[in-house]
Amino acid sequence: MEDRHQLILAPIRGITDSIYRNAIARSFGGIDYAMAPYLVTKNTGEINARQFNDLNPAVNDLRVIGQILTKDADQFLLLANDMVGIGVKEVNLNMGCPYPMVADRTKGSGLLPHPERVRPLLEKIVKNCPCHFSVKLRLGRDDQNEVLEILPILKDLGIDDVTIHPRLGRQIYKGVVNLDGFEACLEHLTTPPTYNGDIHTAQDLIDLKRKFPTITKWMIGRGCLKNPALFSILKGTSYGADEYKQKLEEMHKELCVGYLAQENAKSTFLGKMRGHWPYLAASFENEAKILKKIKKARSIDHYFDATQWIFNQ
């Protein structure tokens, strides 16, 4: 892939933490930088300490963008300043989260039908943000024209770092991406946005590059979770079946070491790893049987028995 193109790991809550980011970067590579899963602001100013510390450059091999989910500018700025204090250099406002429990509170994609709320929110953030600021959004929550009311606000405020996932919030991740809707956004932006959505193969990226020749930044989430080699494949690396399996096993081992080193690992490890296998199982032929074995593992020892069987097939 040409050097001018950049590949970004998308934020997947509960999955793409620093342990995952480091494991995939060391085992397969190909990622230029990552956006971390969002942190939620609260009126009390309290934040999840583990998620916050996960952004520290000292524990990340990749450059990481912090992401904040909020509808309150003061809370955004308070957390952004805290992030800068530990070395984060870029902060993103999540205006795309599709899940109803978020959107119903006028956060994430729930902001998109309300340009009258978005403008003052962004005005205050742009004026006071202590570092580089970007936004990530969808075409709308319920209607693809919602984003067309938001983009002029971004342009007026000089926000030129924008990531667009071309689905509606109510779709969650169902259905197909709306490429015509994405294309309609381009004329409203001074700088080409980052594209995010349904890049699963090298051919997917080839097709998108042909359709959108001005786009040079590509964010990939679920396609990478199912095939951790995808970033490196998109940059020209090829793998034989045995080599891929070996590297996947190396990555899995690093995930296990990282999660077992965490506080309360005995109670959290199985849940963490079960979150990865609905994606990782796609790398194996007998996907359903693999998921059943992982689900049936009731202890850490049983889990390792199951994964030994999986990788020794």
Instruction: Flag whether 155 is in a domain.
Output: yes
Q: Mean of the pLDDT values across residues 204-222?
A: 97
Q: Report the CATH number that the domain containing residue 213 is assigned in CATH.
A: 3.20.20.70
Judge whether 138 lies within some domain.
yes
| pLDDT of res. 48 | 87
Pair 20, 79 in one domain: yes
pLDDT of 291 over the 70 cut:
yes
- Residue 52 domain-assigned? yes
Confidence label for 60 from pLDDT (cuts 50, 70 and 90): very high
Q: Looking at the domain assignment, is residue 111 inside a domain?
A: yes
The label of the residue with tokens 């309150």 reads: 72
The verdict on 109 and 224 lying in the same domain is yes
Domain boundary among the residues 211, 234, 257 is at: 234
Digit-coded pLDDT (tens) for 86-122: 999 999 999 999 999 999 999 999 999 999 999 999 9
The predicted model scores a pTM of 0.95
Can you give the pLDDT at residue 42? 77
Is-contact 176 138, C-beta < 8 A?
Answer: no
Q: Among 234, 265, 291, identify where a domain stops.
A: 234
Going by C-alpha positions, the residue among 126, 125, 148, 123 that lies closest to residue 137 is: 148
Q: Give percent above pLDDT 90 in the chain.
A: 94
Is residue 284 packed enough to be buried (19+ CB in 10 Å), middle (13-18) or exposed (0-12)?
Answer: middle
Same domain as 229, residue 247: no
Q: What is the pLDDT at residue 2?
A: 63
- CA dist 108 and 112 (Å) reads 8
Total structural domains in the chain?
A: 2
Q: What is the mean pLDDT of residues 197-214?
A: 97
* 213: pLDDT strictly greater than 70: yes
Per the CB < 8 A criterion, the answer to whether 279 and 225 are in contact is yes
pLDDT, averaged across the chain:
96
Let me know whether 189 and 269 are in one domain: no
Give yes or no: residues 167 and 36 share one domain. yes
Distance CA 213, CA 135 (A): 22
| Single residue among 234, 262, 296 that ends a domain in this structure | 234
Q: Is the residue at 1 inside a domain?
A: no
Looking at the fold, whether 147 and 183 belong to one and the same domain comes out as: yes
Phi, psi (rounded to 5 degrees) for 189? -120, 135
Do the Cβ atoms of 98 and 49 come closer than 8 Å? Answer: no
Clarify whether residues 158 and 260 are in a common domain. Answer: no
**Average pLDDT rounded to a whole number, residues 285-301:** 95
- Give yes or no: residues 195 and 306 share one domain: no
**Averaged pLDDT, 263-271:** 93
Q: Which domain holds residue 199?
A: 6-234
For residue 44, what pLDDT is reported? Answer: 73
Mean of pLDDT values over 275-301:
95
Do 53 and 124 belong together in one domain?
yes
In degrees and rounded to multiples of 5, residue 30 shows phi and psi of: 95, -10
Burial of 77 (0-12, 13-18, 19+ CB in 10 A): buried
Tell me the CA end-to-end span of the chain in Å, nearest whole number. Answer: 33
Q: Are residues 273 and 211 in the same domain?
A: no
Q: What percent of the chain has pLDDT over 70?
A: 99
Q: Are residues 157 and 291 in the same domain?
A: no
In degrees and rounded to multiples of 5, residue 16 shows phi and psi of -90, 55
pLDDT digits (tens, 9 = 90+) for 6-17: 999 999 999 999
Both 83 and 195 in one domain: the answer is yes
Helix (H, G, I), strand (E, B) or coil at 141: coil
